[in-house]
């Protein structure tokens, strides 16, 4: 069964980027510390990353994050989805207007201009098709940015939330949540490592 999983790294004070993020500084000042775990040699970090990549049938991201990963300093052969782990799911971008061109033309991009709910629906269809082709249950992963994940949680679109809690206090940046209706979470797993605490919750 395809689930919708929000998966994002966050600081101890609740930020998913540092201050002043932008196309040339995607994670903001100091924000690189949020993703140290993704490049760690710790076997538990590697396992968490591999399992997340393996379950990805389709990935949803917002336009600002797309502009970062597709920009000149964005993803390449070593820093793409899964930080070098094998995996090329379909990518669905929520945007008000599709870009004129795409640098990462080797990836499967779909641009949805009718809102987040429609983007999640499109991603679910892609993930279900990938599940059928592979014979494995694959999920939709909401990778960010923070506004996309926060909006999906507020709209009740998320089945599970995975947080990679980095041991850093950024003081400012892009918050994971800016309000919305309360959501009850049921903890499924906790994996502490030297670089992060990986937390997974069911959203009920």
Give the domain ranges of the chain: 4-11+31-72+84-170+189-203
Q: What is the pLDDT of residues 120-169, one digit of tens each?
A: 999 999 999 999 998 999 999 999 889 999 999 989 999 999 999 999 99
pLDDT at 82: 64
Structure-block tokens of residue 156: 């009740």
Nearest residue to 155 via CA among 118, 198, 111: 118
- Tens of pLDDT, residue by residue over 25-50, are 888 999 999 999 999 999 999 999 99
Residue 119 contacts residue 152 (beta carbons within 8 Å): no
Q: What is the pTM of this model?
A: 0.91
* Residue 160 Cα to chain centre, angstroms: 12
Does domain 4-11+31-72+84-170+189-203 sit in CATH 2.60.40.10? no
pLDDT (tens digit, 9 = 90+) per residue, 45-90?
999 999 998 899 999 999 999 998 998 888 887 777 765 554 579 9
Q: Maximum distance among all alpha carbons in the chain?
A: 45
């Amino acid at each position: 069964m395809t689930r919708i999983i929000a998966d994002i790294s966050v600081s101890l004070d609740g930020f998913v980027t540092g201050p002043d993020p932008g196309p040339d500084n995607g994670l903001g000042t100091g924000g690189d510390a949020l993703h140290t775990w993704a490049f760690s040699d710790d076997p538990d970090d590697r396992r968490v990353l591999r399992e997340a990549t393996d379950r990805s049938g389709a990935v949803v991201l917002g336009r600002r994050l797309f502009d970062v990963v597709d920009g000149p300093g964005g993803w390449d052969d070593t820093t793409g989805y899964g930080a070098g782990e094998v995996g090329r799911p379909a990518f669905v971008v929520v945007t008000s207007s599709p870009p004129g061109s795409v640098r990462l033309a080797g990836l499967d991009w779909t641009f949805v201009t009718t809102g987040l709910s429609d983007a999640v629906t499109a991603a679910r269809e892609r993930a279900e098709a990938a599940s059928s082709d592979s014979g494995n249950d694959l999920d939709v992963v909401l990778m960010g940015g923070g506004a996309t994940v926060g909006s999906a949680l507020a709209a009740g679109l998320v089945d599970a939330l995975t947080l990679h809690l980095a041991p850093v206090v950024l003081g400012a940046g892009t918050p994971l949540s800016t309000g919305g209706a309360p959501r009850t979470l049921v903890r499924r797993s906790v994996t502490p490592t030297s670089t992060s605490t990986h937390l997974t919750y069911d959203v009920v």
